[in-house]
Chain A
Amino acid sequence: MSQIQERGSTHVYKVNKISKEEMESMVARCVYEDPPFCSAACPLKLDVRAFLEAAAAGNFKKALQLYEKIAPFPLILSAGCEAPCEGRCRLGEIGEALAVREVERAVARFGEQSRLGGIFRSKKRRTVAVLGSGLFALLLAGELEKKAYPVTVFCEEADEESWLRAAADFLDEEAFSLEHKRLKGKDIQFEFGCVLDRAFLEQKRSCTDVLCASWELTKRLFPDAVCTSELMFCEAERLVTGPTEGVTDAAFGAKKTALTVDRLAQNLDPRNTRGQEGPVESRLYTDLSEAKALDRVPCSAGGYSREQAMEEAGRCLSCHCEECLKSCAYLKHYKKHPGLLAREIYNNTQIIMGDHQLNKPMNACSLCGQCTVVCPNGFDMARVCHLARQNMVSTDKMPLAPHEFALLDMLFSNNEAFLVRPQPGFESCKYVFFPGCQAAAIAPGTVRAAYLDLCERLEGGVALMLGCCGAICDWAGRYEMLGQTRDFIDRELSKLGDPVVIAGCPTCRKELSGFVSASVVGIWDMLLELGLPEGAKGLDRPAALHDSCGARGDEATQRAIRTLAAQLGCELTETPFSGDRSPCCGYGGLTAYANREVAAEMADKCLERSDAPYISYCMACRDRFARQGRESRHILELCYGTDAGAPPDISEKRRNRLTLKNELLREVWREEPREMRLDYKLQYTDEARAMMDERMILTDDVIAVMDAFRENGEAIEDEDGLLVARRRVGNATFWVKFSLTDGGYLVHRAWSHRMRVEKREG
């Protein structure tokens, strides 16, 4: 029996570096975290999406909280903001852009202010003075108060009301009195009736940590003052200020100024570590195909009512790119920003010591490539996970357990169940039929019929090769094993004289085209050329066609299958996500072995597209859909009038391959195969069968245990009189609980573990 060497130790302190550039270039393709277009355009960086969501839900308190983050005086900003966000709103492309500013205004008017704040907050130690009046001075004082600086305003005005009037004379009376109240509630100190001259300024400088002024005052006192508008700082005068124009710019200016104050208060260069300021470009993708083109909720001069604001906010599309999450069950399962997941999977490979917590997600991707097609930026998770697996294999950190069953199954296909023969009567053949390991395992009768048909109808001889193309070890990231498998197949093909390969499976077709010297076609191509065999018959009900992930990007194959289905008389229903956008059934990438939960979600995802029976052209898809309880047929079953029936369990899949090989040897080549026969009777309870399938224990494993028991008689007897024997097979120990029967054994239970167990002395 074939074996795979388990890695010797967990103490391998080696990593194979993945280049940062490579990683970044792949991760950065995902725009999931880019801001929506409105927020990107907002120089103050309002989280417009969250703001509108709260407003639409009638939660004006929360909406106001979000808005106050950027607007210390919400009625002022919402009354005068130029709303660059609206210019970028995607709704504007199909109807009217969302009236963000009017919603803000309504929120500012009706939103309940949260109590906390003002006087009760602890203050920073450094003090700041703001000299002068005007909109910029007002907004700046507000920003600084928000940052918890002890702020004092020195102005010529006689009282708060006239200072506010000088800043915002454009407010109507209702708004003015609300903002006046708000100003009174803020922890800002005032000195009114000041004579703002140079001497006054210098005197304040000597008793405050940071000095700010309105731009008008600065120009009056220092006519030559120059300021960089990025920093809002007159370096020569050491005065924090700058020119602004309009309400939005004044607010943005106040924000930049407050940051400069922060830096100066900490004795840092105001140029450093400012982060990204102002509007940005967003690469976000919004699917507008289902968006409704609508007009704005009409607005009177007095502004929206509460209800109107809620309605208008409700028009927000809440722009999010979730294209891949909509279609891939795996990404949905891990519910994470795909770019971030990719980064974590990369980082997982670079861990020298400790837990590799991302092994599971790394091995759960089916490497199907759907994300790359549906992502507007071609994000390629398959490549990330495939590279990561290879990387882990190369450093001997890849666990064997998740993939061992599949790898052993591949070795079985290419050893015990392998068969290669030229067609009788031909020394070299023009063709070789390569049905693929899953076809032989799941639908041996169909493979037989197909081979006999090809032999009969094709000129030049058709050889047969039963085996695995190597996809299994490729998916597992075992590149050395893949190299060996490819060499082996290549050698066998060249012994046949490098005939044209007729693949029975789109994944085999793809894998084989990657390395064999001869050309590779699909059996569907041949059938289109030859015409359908006698007895071919489609389903008599409408069916859904499922495209195999192995045929992604292979338009010719997708088209050929559709033509074949039409010739069969199949009526195909339209399904979403077909062709290149088709999801994976859960077999690809070995998901079905490494993570059965995700694999089942993948199959369900495929099946939710239609209630009709499914027709597929990959035997693994056929099998997985049938296992989920759906009527499921492979197109070759329809072509050859065969029915593979209920899905076989893991042991039957092996037996089917062996039986197919032996039957064909007898029938076609008149050879008598060597067959192993048990000289005792082995039976299983139904419970044992189900348990074995679930636990991936083969009847061959049970036979190995029973053979050992017959030889050494070692077993224990439990309370119920049942016997339990065990044997180490490869990397696992198998235990079988059984009772003695007339001439054999009845298996009740079976389990296994990978750890070795030994008696310890002492």
Chain B
Amino acid sequence: MAIEKNYYTIDPEGKLKCFKCGVPLIKGKAKFMYLDNGFPVELPVCPVCGFVYVPEELALGKVASVERALEDK
């Protein structure tokens, strides 16, 4: 199996819980998409319902800077 490059990885380390399903979030595969560009990442995900969590630091940091860069393409 080809090893896929992930642009970003966050491991919830059992600190986050899905409120609806009552289970801890795990490190799961997710994808950011913007203006027709996609980026594979690993984020905290609920193993039951699939809720993908984007923490504040990530949103304001990496995500925001990639957004700015793509907007000026």
Query: Is B20 interfacial (CB 8 A cutoff)?
Result: yes
User: CB distance B35 to A718 under 8 Å?
Assistant: no
Say yes or no: A757-B73 contact (C-beta < 8 A), given A9-B35, A716-B18, A752-B59: no
CB distance from B43 to the nearest CB of A (A): 7
* Cβ contact within 8 Å between B60 and A757: no
Cβ B53 vs Cβ A724 within 8 A: yes
Q: Mask for B11-51, Cβ within 8 A of A = 1, else 0?
A: 00001111110000100111111111100100111100111
Q: A11–B31 contact, CB under 8 A?
A: no
For chain B, give the interface size range.
35 or more
- In the complex, which residues 338-369 of chain A have their Cβ closer than 8 Å to any Cβ of chain B? 354-357, 359
Residues of A within 8 A of B28 (CB): 759
Chain B contact residues, majority secondary structure: mixed
B67:A753 contact, CB within 8 angstroms: yes
> Could you list some 30 contacts between A and B, CB below 8 A?
A9-B36, A10-B70, A356-B72, A400-B71, A401-B67, A401-B68, A713-B19, A716-B17, A716-B51, A717-B16, A717-B17, A719-B15, A723-B19, A724-B53, A735-B56, A751-B56, A751-B59, A753-B54, A753-B63, A753-B64, A753-B67, A755-B67, A756-B33, A756-B34, A757-B30, A757-B52, A758-B33, A759-B52, A760-B30, A760-B40
Residues of A within 8 A of B53 (CB): 716, 724
Q: 5 new A-B pairs (CB below 8 Å) besides A11-B36, A753-B54, A755-B66? A: A7-B35, A754-B34, A754-B67, A756-B33, A760-B29
From 707 to 753 in chain A, residues with beta carbon under 8 angstroms from any chain B beta carbon are 712-719, 723-724, 726, 733, 735, 737, 749, 751-753
Q: How far is the CA of A758 from the CA of B52 in the complex (A)?
A: 7
Classify chain A's interface size.
35 or more
Most A-side CB within 10 Å, residue of B15, B51, B54, B72: B72
How far apart are A351's CB and chain B's nearest CB, in angstroms?
10
In whole angstroms, what is the CA distance A356 to B72 when docked?
5
Please report the C-alpha to C-alpha distance between residue A355 and residue B70 in the assembled complex, in whole angstroms. 8
Name the A residues within 8 Å of B56 (CB-CB). Answer: 735, 737, 749, 751
CA distance A714 to B60 in the complex (A): 22
A residues sitting closer than 8 Å to B (CB atoms) are 6-11, 354-357, 359, 399-402, 712-719, 723-724, 726, 733, 735, 737, 749, 751-762
Interchain residue pairs A-B with the least CB separation, the first 10: A9-B36, A399-B71, A10-B73, A760-B29, A715-B19, A755-B34, A753-B59, A755-B32, A717-B17, A760-B31
Q: How many angstroms from the CA of A318 to the CA of B40 in the assembled complex?
A: 57
- Residue on B nearest A9 in the bound complex, by CB: B36
A2 vs B52: C-alpha distance in the bound complex, in angstroms? 26
**Which chain A residue has the least Cβ–Cβ distance from B28?**
A759
Given the known A-B contacts A6-B35, A715-B19, A723-B19, are A759 and B59 also in contact in the complex, defined by CB atoms under 8 Å? no
Query: Which of B28, B43, B51 is packed against the most chain A CB atoms within 10 Å?
Result: B51
| Bound Cα distance A718, B34 (Å) | 27
Instruction: Please indicate the chain B residues that have their CB under 8 angstroms from the CB of A758 in the complex.
Output: 30-31, 33, 52
Assembly CA distance A336 to B51 (angstroms): 48
Contacts A714-B19, A751-B56 given; does A762 touch B29 at CB 8 Å? yes
Closest chain B CB from A231 CB (angstroms):
50
Shortest Cβ gap from A226 to chain B (Å): 60
CB-based contact A357/B54 at 8 Å:
no
Bound Cα distance A717, B23 (Å): 10
Q: Are B45 and A759 in contact (CB under 8 A)?
A: yes
Please give, as numbers and ranges, the residues of chain B lying within 8 Å of A355 by CB-CB distance: 69, 72-73
A449–B31 Cα distance when bound, in Å, is 53
